[in-house]
Chains A and B, each alone.
Chain A
Amino acid sequence: MTTAMTTATPPPVAPAGDHHDLAIVLFAVIVLVTLGITLWVGRRGSAAEDFYAGGRDFTPLQNGFALSGDYLSAASFLGVAGLIALYGYDGVLYSIGFLVAWLVVLMLVAELVRNAGRYTLADVLALRLRRRKVRAAAGGASVVVTLLYLVAQMVGAGSLVALLLGTNSAQARTWTIVAVGGLMIVYVTVGGMRATTWIQIVKAFLLVAGSVLLTVLLMVRFHGDVGELMRQAAQHSGAGQRYLEPGLKYGATSTSRLDFFSLGLALVLGTAGLPHILSRFYTVPTARAARRSTMWAIGLVGGFYLMAIALGLGATALVGSAEVRHANSAGNTAVPLLALVLGGGNGSTGGVVLFALISAIAFATILAVVAGLTLASSAAFAHDIWAGAWRGRPRRRSLLRRRAVPASRPSGEAGGEAQSEAEGKAQREAGERQEVVVARIAAVGIGAAAIAISLFAQQLNVAFLVGLAFAVAASANLPVLLYTLFWRRFTARGAIWSVYGGLIPAIVLVTFSPVVSGTKVALFPGVDFHWFPLENPGIVSIPLGFLAGWIGTLTSPEPADADRFAELEVRSLTGAGAA
């Protein structure tokens, strides 16, 4: 049976068969269900806390599902399994970095960020380093990271949905990108964090359920013999035993090995700097709930990647690497093709249903992830750049004066103080309402920008874009976050240097890498101005981010504010005064 599969020359998915009709129906169902969730949940509240943090009343289990939903993008579901189907062990290597990264989140970031911040990453920095420039830098880096990630997801969505629907025309891709972008804008502007979180939960549940179903069917097919699965996979990979050994994808030259190390570093350190992951911790009531949701996420993500390995091997064993590559050169359709075979093959009812089901799950995955990213991006823009840094200048000064006056007064004028407090509260609430309006507008703007960039960048490799987003997050966001949380002597200048010292090298190195120019698959294939040999800048830019923060702190004209660090330490470790 398997030999017939591999020797068959026509690809099983190329002609648009009836399994695409069912897929279209299921896609429509997904769109309707998610829009329904958005409208239903979005009515529940429109305060800043609802929009940014979903009211902070999700349970750890719910948030754990939402975290894994945010994390397991289509690039993971289809991409990692596809990489394994094509390159065997080297694909496995890729998935491990994605999982181990969660230990950094769990141990160093999740609880402290939950305790110290309100809505965004920059909140944590601002608690200690009250400078508009710090907020602007961190907010800007967050926008860049989420935008890169967003473009990656949308470019992937374009080619993927078109592929799953059986057409590969450029027009179908374009319309898919526009439609996905339009939907994500609706989810975020109407539903905010609450709707986005519920969409993530539904999607993560579907994703895990679909993976379990396929893995069980696969294991039944192989009678639970993993060794046999691996042998069959090696046999049908076209590479023999080398399929199960390191080096099929990343082992060609020492440059490509170094590139992979760079990617590995970016993956393991980048997750803890991803704004859309960090803002998830604000949707639960306490730091302990944040820890428990991270543990759920680790369980779900780990379990998912173990299944993805099995599915990748299964796709090679039952479909064959050549077929997988023929359908999509990046291997992105390996899992749907495997579903077709496991369900009974092309033409059979089981195969058609399973193919459509898995395609619909992949589509739901794309929609959910882009919604989460758009939300994080608009929060960084509205809360950090607009409200914290740009609007902050005149307003902050008046607030400081207001605070300074009662402080100098002898305590006892309770009446006046209460009045100014009520006034301040009303003003703050008005400011937050305004901020949410800005965030909604920003979501539209960012969504439109992402659509435009995605249409332009359609030929870029999705895995590369994701790796780049992780590299920027690890270079610009993680050093400043860790320094802020743990280093007593860290200063505002250190923070600003750290953000820009990671962000700028990462962007510059990519601009002069083989991804942008000098190769056939580059963004500008016609010209060659590359001098940086690696595709992923992480190995250089991440240490630079840490180094810049260190030097900036040492050369800082003012010493670190010990009072602020005391407040941050106490609040982050105990939860006192947490939002």
Chain B
Amino acid sequence: MPQQQMSSPGQGQRFDWWAAPAAATASARPDRPTPPAAARPVPSVPVQPAPVPAAAHAAAPAVPVAGRATATDSTEVYRAVQGSEAFQEIRRSYRAFVFPVSSAFLAWYLAYVAAQAAAPDLMRSPVAGPFNVAWLLGLLQFATTFLLTWLYARNARTKRDRAALGLRWDTQDQLR
């Protein structure tokens, strides 16, 4: 399995992908402006992020990488990666967060909109000074939006970014 995946740019340095077409097609661009250096490939150091790629290596059957992968080969690679434990874990952690949270915030928003029609008296009841329940719930919508944005980003950063990046290099390796 080739380890030399990219002639990667230094941290924060711009990299001209057009000047290096070979590298550009072989690997993807690094996520340039990211604060944690966690998943970012460092120049000339073989990419070995976390234990995940190892798992992927184990799970994905070694597709003969002789020259360029043909159409059927790439289909097999994608099927194999899809079936791998590493990918299923990424998929699970994504769906397990996104589906319940999306249903929850959509329900909360639609309930809030429907409440104007269904329970206007409740919405009118005062809370403090000129504030009433309607204003309170409206501001809470802002608050939950910001909160869920932060929670989602944290979930993605801690649960799947590193694994997804590892699997990405690995898949592209096999496709080459």
Q: Which of A59, A99, A103, A231 contacts B32 (CB 8 A)?
A: A59
Instruction: For A257, list chain B residues within 8 Å (CB).
Output: 116-117
Give Cα A507 to B78, complex, Å.
40
Tell me whether A291 and B116 are in contact in the complex, defined as CB-CB below 8 angstroms, given that A227-B131, A285-B32 are known contacts.
no
User: Counting CB contacts under 8 A, is B106 at the interface?
Assistant: yes
How would residues 23 to 67 of chain A score, 1 for a CB under 8 Å from any chain B CB and 0 otherwise?
000000000000000000000000000000000110111000000
A374 CB to closest chain B CB (Å) equals 27
How would residues 72 to 93 of chain B score, 1 for a CB under 8 Å from any chain A CB and 0 otherwise?
1011001101100001001100
B117-157 interface with A by 8 A CB criterion? 117, 120, 123-124, 129-132, 134-135, 138, 141-142, 145-146, 148-149, 152-153, 156
Interface size on B, residues (CB 8 A): 64
Most buried by A among B112, B113, B153: B113
A265 contacts B168, C-beta separation under 8 Å? no
Tell me whether A102 and B145 are in contact in the complex, defined as CB-CB below 8 angstroms, given that A89-B134, A234-B130, A576-B167 are known contacts.
yes
Name the residue of chain B whose CB is nearest to the CB of A99. Answer: B145
Instruction: For A92, list chain B residues within 8 Å (CB).
Output: 135, 138
User: Counting CB contacts under 8 A, is B45 at the interface?
Assistant: no
Q: Which of A93, A106, A421 contacts B113 (CB 8 A)?
A: A93
Name the residue of chain B whose CB is nearest to the CB of A61. Answer: B33
User: Counting CB contacts under 8 A, is A528 at the interface?
Assistant: no
Name the residue of chain B whose CB is nearest to the CB of A571. Answer: B78
B98 contacts A108, C-beta separation under 8 Å? yes
Residues of B that sit less than 8 Å from A by CB: 14, 28-34, 66-68, 70-72, 74-75, 78-79, 81-82, 87, 90-91, 94, 98, 101-102, 105-106, 109-110, 112-114, 116-117, 120, 123-124, 129-132, 134-135, 138, 141-142, 145-146, 148-149, 152-153, 156, 160-161, 164-165, 167-168, 171-172, 175
25 example contacts (A-B, Cβ-Cβ < 8 A) are as follows A93-B116, A102-B149, A103-B105, A104-B106, A107-B102, A234-B130, A246-B120, A246-B123, A246-B134, A251-B120, A289-B31, A298-B149, A306-B142, A406-B70, A407-B72, A414-B67, A417-B68, A421-B68, A566-B79, A566-B82, A567-B74, A570-B171, A574-B168, A576-B81, A577-B175
Known: A250-B116, A258-B117. 20 other contacts (CB 8 A): A89-B134, A92-B138, A99-B141, A103-B105, A111-B156, A227-B130, A231-B130, A244-B132, A257-B117, A264-B110, A286-B29, A291-B153, A403-B71, A567-B74, A569-B91, A570-B81, A574-B171, A576-B168, A577-B171, A577-B175
